Structure 1
Amino acid sequence: MCMCRLSAWLSIWKRDIPPAAPRSFQDRPPREFHKAVCSDCGKECEVPFKPTEGRPVYCLDCLPKHRKPPRF
């Protein structure tokens, strides 16, 4: 398909797509927290996911020590 046909097809196709509705955080249900014990310091904490047996869970104080440094 030549570029002129492709661009004409895309312009027609885009016209038929209604604009996306803005998303709101208010539309989300409240986050469910689960109790857990930090694998590093042993302190009880709450996490926004269901802990899986065999995988470590860290509290907010210990989590930064176990995060991988960002790659730039």
Structure 2
Amino acid sequence: MKKKKKKKKKKKKKKKKKKKKKKKKKKKKKKKKKKKKKKKKKKKKKKKKKKKKKKKKKKKKKKKKKKKGLLC
């Protein structure tokens, strides 16, 4: 009888599983929404243009001086 050769069992190397690091979820801070104040629109008053009155130059009447003389 032939002797059966014993097969050497190869030891399988166990692969080390890398542990996945769990990322910590950062809690997002909720920003408070600031209420925007509505700005009241100021109505622009239309300025009425004043018409400039042209000043009439008064002509000065030259008073004739009465010559007091011999004729009076």
TM-score, scaled relative to structure 1? 0.17
Larger helix fraction of residues: 1
Larger Rg: 2
Larger strand fraction of residues: 1
